[in-house]
Amino acid sequence: MGSWSETIVFLLVAVYIVTSSPLIKEKEPGADWPKRNSVKQPWADQNTTDKVVEATPTEKDVIDDILGEEVPTELSDIILKAADLTKNDVEKVDYTGAQVWKVATNKTNIRVIISRLHRRNLLSTWGGSQSSIDVLVKPNALQNVTRVFKRENIYFDVVIDDLQQRINEENPPLDQNELELQDRRGHRMTWKQYHRLIDIHGFMDYLAKTYPSIVSVKTIGKSFEKRDLKVLRISDGKPTNKAVFIDGGFHAREWISPATVTFFINQFAENFDVESDDVKNIDWYFLPVVNPDGYEYTHNVDRLWRKNRRPGIPGRACLGTDLNRNFGYRWGGKGASNNPCSEIYRGSRAFSEPESKALSDFIKSSGANFTAYLTYHSYGQYILYPWGYDNAVPPDYQDLDSVGKNVAQTIQQTGGSEYSVGSSSGLLYPAAGGSDDWAKSQGIKYTYTIELSDTGRFGFVLPTTYIEPVARENLAGLRVLAKQVHKT
């Protein structure tokens, strides 16, 4: 072989090795613990091969369409430049100068205008209520979106004026005391920081090893990028026990969710002997990170990623399926998109994704007597019951409503946060393919989606000081649910 072809073969092999190695080397928990504090700080150097590519509008009439009239070429050029967010580099997504606005939706056409701006990639939607919607406005689009809103007399408040700054401040390193404690504990999980997947999984394995008579861990499947989907069970093994399934981390960027679910796990596992009978008479199943690939991606590359990381159509730039649109009850209905570039992409068919498939297969086949299914999301402070697919409620919705209201009341009495209770479609918006609807369709009576804090001040980027208060008040709410399950 000539030296050129040898060099090319060598380069191809080297590129293959580099690009096929996982972003994070995960070790078997318990064996050789990696150096402490694996929480990657937002400002840490990134080394990743992922690309961030967004669709780019190219036509002047796109802008005319948004503004509903012919606009001068000069202005449309500015807007097109703002929308040209294509990034071929491998850096962490930078939100410097991006803002989050709370937009009043008191007029009928506002949601239409927002969705047009969204389609043109000038903003994206975060959360909202019946009276307002939170939008992320990209820095180069600020002027033009302001112009559109002013022209249309749309009222808005700037809630976050530099999103990257909030991201940088969200998850600071642990102090020296905490680091020392971490070293002594046998696991690295705390509720003072948002932890990487390896810490969460290490914590689960630690509990199984430490309390083998009540705690066990099972890998129920693998994510698309081959990360474990780990379920932790807490049970005293009584055959009469009812069962409750709790998950978190469906949506990658909703970091408060895995933090809260692991807080519950810690409380029940570490204090099982002194727990209430309600808690002890239930078999608890926890899957704290349904979407581990997305979760790691939010730590490594894009803090605001929502979906999983499975490629859509081969060769196309957009990837990721919204796992909460991929479940098989009324799949593909309202509020779910067939466009792989959409944040609410439903996937190619029901249960097309390994994560949703593994979760549903486990619930169907575990043999546990599931009486409640709780799925923790953020944000907005809502306790939502089915149906989500459309404006309808199940026959026993009054039971769901009254238990939900008791949970909300206890949360408020414990920590002060106000949660609104109602059906998903009625209180938020219709969205088909959610795990809650599917769980209800399987006959699990007390099925809820709980949207944790806050109501929009920080949104997804909730500072770590909120973890303990949010988790604590929700633990009190969970106890109310446990009492109900026990009675049922």
- State the catalytic residue, choosing from 254, 353, 355, 451: 451
Which phi and psi (to 5°) does residue 264 adopt? -60, -45
The identity of residue 73, as a single letter, is T
The three-state secondary structure class of 423 is strand
Instruction: Identify the sign of the CA torsion 25, 26, 30, 33.
Output: positive
What tokens does 190 get? Answer: 């705390």
Residues 73-102, one symbol each (x = binds Zn ion by CB under 5 A, - = not), give ------------------------------
The footprint of Zn ion on this chain (CB under 5 A) covers a number of residues equal to 3
Chain residues binding ligand 0X9 by CB under 6 A are 127, 251, 254, 324, 377, 384, 388, 424, 428, 431, 434, 436-437, 449, 451
In the bound state with Zn ion, the residue whose beta carbon lies nearer, of 268 and 438, is 438
In the bound state with ligand 0X9, the residue whose beta carbon lies nearer, of 258 and 434, is 434
Residue 389 Cβ vs ligand 0X9, minimum distance, rounded to whole Å: 6
Out of ligand 0X9, Zn ion, none, which partner does residue 449 contact, by CB within 5 to 8 A per kind? ligand 0X9
In the bound state with ligand 0X9, the residue whose beta carbon lies nearer, of 275 and 436, is 436
The rounded distance, in Å, linking the Cα atoms of 376 and 399 is 20
325 binds Zn ion (CB under 5 A): no
In contact, 451 and 378? CB cutoff 8 Å: yes
Out of ligand 0X9, Zn ion, none, which partner does residue 462 contact, by CB within 5 to 8 A per kind? none
Out of Zn ion, ligand 0X9, none, which partner does residue 26 contact, by CB within 5 to 8 A per kind? none
In the bound state with ligand 0X9, the residue whose beta carbon lies nearer, of 82 and 421, is 421
CA distances from 11 to 8, 15, 49, 88, 196 (A): 5, 6, 16, 21, 32
Q: Give me the residue whose beta carbon is nearest to Zn ion.
A: 377
In the bound state with Zn ion, the residue whose beta carbon lies nearer, of 256 and 421, is 256
Residue 326 Cβ vs ligand 0X9, minimum distance, rounded to whole Å: 11
Neighbours of 118 (CB within 10 A): 16
Residue 50 Cβ vs ligand 0X9, minimum distance, rounded to whole Å: 22
The three-state secondary structure class of 462 is coil
Specify the pairing of strand 420-423 against strand 370-378. unpaired
Site for Zn ion in 215-254 (CB under 5 A): 251, 254
Out of Zn ion, ligand 0X9, none, which partner does residue 340 contact, by CB within 5 to 8 A per kind? none
**Which of 340, 351, 343 lies closest to 313, judged by CA?**
340
The rounded distance, in Å, linking the Cα atoms of 72 and 345 is 35
In contact, 24 and 198? CB cutoff 8 Å: yes
Which phi and psi (to 5°) does residue 381 adopt? 60, 65
Residue 9 Cβ vs Zn ion, minimum distance, rounded to whole Å: 46
Residue 42 Cβ vs ligand 0X9, minimum distance, rounded to whole Å: 22
**Which of 458, 467, 455, 378 lies closest to 161, judged by CA?**
458
Site for Zn ion in 367-396 (CB under 5 A): 377
In contact, 163 and 126? CB cutoff 8 Å: no
Q: Look up residue 112 and give its DSSP letter.
A: H
In the bound state with Zn ion, the residue whose beta carbon lies nearer, of 228 and 247, is 247
Residue 461 Cβ vs Zn ion, minimum distance, rounded to whole Å: 14
Confirm whether 451 is a catalytic residue.
yes
Active centre residues (catalytic): 451
Q: Given the rule CB under 5 A, which residues bind Zn ion?
A: 251, 254, 377
